[in-house]
Amino acid sequence: MKPLSTADELQRARALARMKRIPLLLLLLMAAAFVATLGRPETWAGWVHAFAEAGMVGALADWFAVVALFRHPLGIPIPHTAIIPTRKDALGEAMSRFVSDHFLAPEAVRAKLESIDMARLVTDWLRSPRGQRRLLDLADTAIRWALDALDEQRVRRFLGRFTRRQLESLDLAAVLGSTLHWLVQGNRHQEILTQALRYAIVLLADNREQIRERVAEESPWWVPGFVDDRILAKVLDRVESRLFEMSLDPEHPLRGQFNDWLVRLADELKTAPEYRRTGERFKRQLLENEELLDYLYGLWEDLSGRLAADLDAEDSRTRQEIARALERLANELQADPDMQSWINEWLMDALVTVVDQNREQIASLISDTVRTWDGRETSRRVELALGRDLQFIRVNGTLVGGLVGMVIHAVTLWVI
């Protein structure tokens, strides 16, 4: 038999050994009482004798039943004994099916998750010092792992080779054309144009003085300055007015022209040979430019070195930024009940779906694990887990058997 491996198992084994003494002492007590009252004529002796006799029967019967679960009683290979070591695989399969049908069923999982405010738990954990330390340590470990992996020569060669092959098979012009089509179909290009127009208005307003100075420098000497200023002011006002009109009017004619031009450009990028040739030349130049690749690799080495050094520092700015981001995230979640509700619903649906789709595989962990156990080792583990309660069954069997013996004795006296 495999030796006990942990302090907990040793403690449970000692407790089980002490517990086994109680039903054994009761059995010996029943045997002593049986012998002491054998043939005695006193009335009380008959009652004690009946109690002891039935108690011995109950004690031996329950001893046999309990021992038969784990081994052959007295080492005799009686059929249907040593149930756990001989039928552990079947028991593991039955337990696996039971867990799958009753614990991992969608209804059971959903009912349990509905009673848990997971978003609140996550928020509280993010706000707790322990949770922040755990996440910071996890982020630190992940960043260091990524830096070490990308610094590995084999990883760099693989990524370089993979990236080169993907880039070689890429049609840059067609990809750009498809991207433009995607922007146009969702009308996203107009949103981008609106933001660009607003930025242009602000930029123009903030740089009027610099523009005036540049015009004055480039203007002929014989043109008076006030003329330049009046012309420039009118031009800038017209430009700002046109930009305002375009930014505020979704149906502006220039927006339509922009839309038509973008659609034509997207079609030409996908079909025109000259654009495809231009994309291929650019791609080839990029792949063959060793100096650019060396420069990019040098930048990466410098960045990764600085990041690693910062993580090693006691006042790491990276860790501080991550901590502030986590705190902001937790505060934002705490102040947004709608987001918490959405997170709870999303997590519940996702977990229920994942568990339902994989519950057979999850439950099979039980049967697969039990199948790998040795029969005697399995019996020992189960006995350590349940043996103490089973000894109470032996105690109860002795006492209940004795009471039944007294009832039978009473019936016998009444009948006779």
pLDDT recorded at residue 28: 93
Contacts of 406 (CB under 8 A, 6+ apart): 47, 50, 51, 54
CA atoms within 13 A on the CB side of 285: 7
pLDDT recorded at residue 205: 81
Give the pair of three-digit tokens for residue 8. Answer: 């907990």
Q: In which band, very low, low, confident or very high, does the pLDDT at 5 lie, cut at 50, 70 and 90?
A: low
pLDDT average, residue stretch 172-184: 82
pLDDT recorded at residue 40: 83
Percent of the chain past pLDDT 70, that is, above it, reads 94
Give the pair of three-digit tokens for residue 117. Answer: 């405010």
C-alpha 246/C-alpha 258 separation (Å) is 11
Three-state DSSP state, 82: coil
pLDDT recorded at residue 2: 45
Kindly tell me if the per-residue pLDDT of 302 is higher than 50: yes
C-alpha 264/C-alpha 163 separation (Å) is 31
C-alpha 243/C-alpha 19 separation (Å) is 91
Q: In which band, very low, low, confident or very high, does the pLDDT at 54 lie, cut at 50, 70 and 90?
A: very high
Give the pair of three-digit tokens for residue 128. Answer: 């707790």
C-alpha 96/C-alpha 368 separation (Å) is 9
Quick: pLDDT tens for 217-233.
776 666 566 666 677 77
pLDDT recorded at residue 25: 92
pLDDT average, residue stretch 176-196: 82
Kindly tell me if the per-residue pLDDT of 1 is higher than 60: no
Give the pair of three-digit tokens for residue 258. Answer: 């922009």
C-alpha 121/C-alpha 181 separation (Å) is 43
- Could you write out the DSSP letters of every residue in 169-234? T--HHHHHHHHHHHHHHTTHHHHHHHHHHHHHHHHHHHTHHHHHHHHHHHS-TTS-HHHHHHHHHH
74: left (phi over 0), alpha (psi -120 to 50) or beta: left
Kindly tell me if the per-residue pLDDT of 156 is higher than 50: yes
Average pLDDT, the chain: 82
- Could you write out the DSSP letters of every residue in 350-413? HHHHHHHHHHHHHHHHHHHHHHHS-HHHHHHHHHHHHHHHHHHHHHHHHHHHHHHHHHHHHHHH
Quick: pLDDT tens for 311-351.
888 888 888 888 888 888 888 888 888 888 888 888 888 88
pLDDT recorded at residue 153: 76
Of residues 75 and 222, more confidence is placed in 75
Three-state DSSP state, 252: coil
C-alpha 318/C-alpha 97 separation (Å) is 48
pTM of the predicted model over 0.75: no
Quick: pLDDT tens for 12-39.
888 888 888 888 999 999 999 999 988 8
DSSP assignment letter at 249:
-
Lowest mean pLDDT among 42-51, 234-243, 399-408: 234-243
Residue of 298, 301, 270, 52 whose CA lies nearest to 171: 270
Three-state DSSP state, 103: coil
Quick: pLDDT tens for 119-132.
888 888 888 888 88
Give the pair of three-digit tokens for residue 365. Answer: 């962990």
* Residue count of the chain: 416
H helices present in 272-289, as ranges: 273-288
pLDDT average, residue stretch 385-413: 86
324 touches 332 (CB < 8 A): no
